[in-house]
Structure 1
């Protein structure tokens, strides 16, 4: 594990943007799987600014969404809509280079990723309950590849999603499983804020357990963990 402790969120974002940009500059096909949400927001703003100043061919950069929560009566789910707004549209990603994860294609995605050389980078955040991608405590099996979780009105998953999203979820939730993520060449986990200090301590210092799904990431041979000082405060 390569552990980077940044002074603050801005520095964390600069480091994160630099890692993603380095992958983008490879002179070959590059397969990226990037998170959405608040943690990478500034990193994407920095990345958009840097890319606007570079003259580079982006036709060989492909994007694979690693999870998706359907939203009721919406064209796009939570991840797709978030990434379109934060990154895909600002940098002008061609539609054919965006590989949306859906209930229709999730069973084939692992095979398709393997056929194009695997994922070069998976950039993830960390949930306060220890989840990564859509791998939640109580639902995670470390042996799983990409899988779906039914979302039924009134059940625990539905209620949890509705509370988290602030709007009504649709009828499915799909995610890269631990096995899919662990097959990537490079993992980057970004964590900021004092409210994440206790869970990142558990993730890094062990044990590896499905009760804290992200703990499995620490066994990857090439993982970079980027924390701000607030998130790192409880580490030994």
Structure 2
């Protein structure tokens, strides 16, 4: 595990952008999975400045690692978020976008293996210790890509989440197969969970704790998120 600490959100975002561009600049096909949410917003803003309308990155193929379908909506929440944050602003060719859906999730691991696997994956950390869609006390560390049916009684389920009945996610085994895993976290609110996930016992109650075992994990934090670590 390699831990990099930027002074602030801007600095950690610049670090993350540079590492991703290092992969994207290869002269071969690059398979990359990226995350939605608030933490990577500045990373994507910085990437768009470089990637938009540039033929130098036509080799990069993009994958979402989880998806939440919504009734009456053509695409799920995750890919819609990624399109808004990065894929559309960067004018990514549709042929380079490979959505994970509830219809194709059983084929995800095989499909990735056929194209050489994921070279790099950018993920965040939930305040409850989840990563991707691997939720506390729901995930099984032996899971490949899998589907979860939501009953509304799950410990992590919030009634305000709306009418969500299911979701799919790459499981721990699938994530462990990624060649380079990059975890980004910012802010003091997640400092305690950063310490728990990275230094505590490996348990399904804190799903992200399994990431300690990844052979090529880079953690990028701002000083606030790193404040409880002994570095």
Deviation sequence 1:146-175 (CA, Å, 0-9, x none): 0000134xx225982553x4xx24432000
Deviation sequence 1:111-153 (CA, Å, 0-9, x none): 010010010001000000000000000111111100000134x
> How many residues are treated as equivalent by the alignment?
230
RMSD, aligned α-carbons: 1.6
| Preserved CA contact (<8 Å) 2:51 2:57 | no
**Larger mean Cα displacement after TM superposition, 196-205 or 66-75:** 66-75
* Structure-1-length-normalised TM-score: 0.93
Instruction: Tell me how far 1:58 sits from its aligned partner.
Output: 2.8
Aligned to 1:18: 18
- Going from structure 1 to structure 2, the CA distance change for 1:94 and 1:56 (only over 3 Å counts) comes to closer
Is residue 172 of structure 2 the alignment partner of residue 175 of structure 1? no
Taking the aligned partners of 1:118 and 1:75, their CA distance within structure 2 comes to 27
Aligned to 1:84: 83
Runs (4 or more) in structure 1 with deviation over 4 Å come to none
Instruction: Tell me how far 1:71 sits from its aligned partner.
Output: 2.0
Is residue 107 of structure 2 the alignment partner of residue 108 of structure 1? yes
Deviation sequence 1:55-80 (CA, Å, 0-9, x none): 43333211111001112322221111
Deviation sequence 1:14-60 (CA, Å, 0-9, x none): 111111111111100100000000000000001101224x8433332
Aligned to 2:221: 227
Match of 2:193 among 177, 181, 199: 199
Q: Secondary structure at the match of 1:202?
A: helix
Taking the aligned partners of 1:100 and 1:158, their CA distance within structure 2 comes to 28
Taking the TM superposition and a 5 Å limit, the aligned residue runs for 1:135-174 are 135-152=134-151, 155-157=152-154, 160=157, 162-163=159-160, 165=161, 168-174=162-168
Structure 1 runs not aligned, ≥5 long: none
| Preserved CA contact (<8 Å) 1:189 1:226 | yes
Taking the aligned partners of 2:198 and 2:164, their CA distance within structure 1 comes to 34
Q: Secondary structure at the match of 1:144?
A: coil
Aligned to 1:211: 205
Taking the aligned partners of 1:214 and 1:115, their CA distance within structure 2 comes to 27
| Preserved CA contact (<8 Å) 2:133 2:168 | yes
Taking the aligned partners of 2:183 and 2:62, their CA distance within structure 1 comes to 17
Structure 2 runs not aligned, ≥5 long: none
Instruction: Tell me how far 1:207 sits from its aligned partner.
Output: 1.0
Is residue 30 of structure 2 the alignment partner of residue 30 of structure 1? yes
